[in-house]
Amino acid sequence: MKTISKVFVLCIILTVSYNTNAQVTASSRPLLFSNFSANIPTAAAELNKAFLSAEGSLIQLNFTNNFSITGTVFSSVQRYNNLSSVIIKVPSLQNSLLSISKRTNDDNTITYVGRLINEKYADGYELKKDNYGNYTFNKIKTEELIQDF
């Protein structure tokens, strides 16, 4: 009798745990960049154009034939002598923000980092540099980066 009740309790526990989905949420935000490639190659010269534009000016950055950005320089800040940041508001992408930072390293090489995101959408892009010095915008899920929207 004891064995039957133990098996019965084990079956109930397994059934309950199998049907329980704790902490699983589906994103309620739509995708903005679903029609674009997961990886977009980017030239460093094109990224540098953002730092040559004054705050409030219109700028166009042509990353590839299929992906170019036209927007207004929302903010341009020289934080330190080796760090500058630019934020570009892109109306054609539902007012997404392209944030690019440029750092001059101790060996006088330049490193760019950045993101293209919109808080109303579940996807975006992050700028990454590979081992060969090439830059690529890689698609990201913004709900993994931005919480509580």
Q: How far apart are CA 48 and CA 53, in angstroms?
A: 9
66 or 130, which is more confident? 130
Q: Is 149 domain-assigned? A: no
Residue pair 96/116 in contact by the 8 Å Cβ criterion: yes
Model pLDDT for residues 27-50, shown as the tens digit of each residue:
578 888 888 888 999 999 999 999
Residue 4, domain member (yes or no): no
Residue 91 domain-assigned (yes or no): yes
Q: What is the distance between the alpha carbons of residues 33 and 120, in angstroms, rounded to a whole number? A: 12
pLDDT(111) > 80? yes
Domains: count for the chain = 1
User: Does residue 2 lie in a domain region?
Assistant: no
pTM: 0.75
CA-angle at 69, arms to 65 and 86, nearest 5°: 135
- Domain-embedded: residue 121: yes
CA 3 – CA 5 distance, rounded (Å): 6
- Eight-state DSSP code of residue 27: -
- Residue-wise pLDDT for 81-102, tens only, equals 889 999 999 999 999 999 999 9
Q: Within a domain: residue 102?
A: yes
Please indicate whether residue 79 or residue 6 has the higher confidence score (pLDDT).
79
Residues 30, 19: Cα–Cα separation, whole Å: 27
Domain that holds residue 125: 32-144
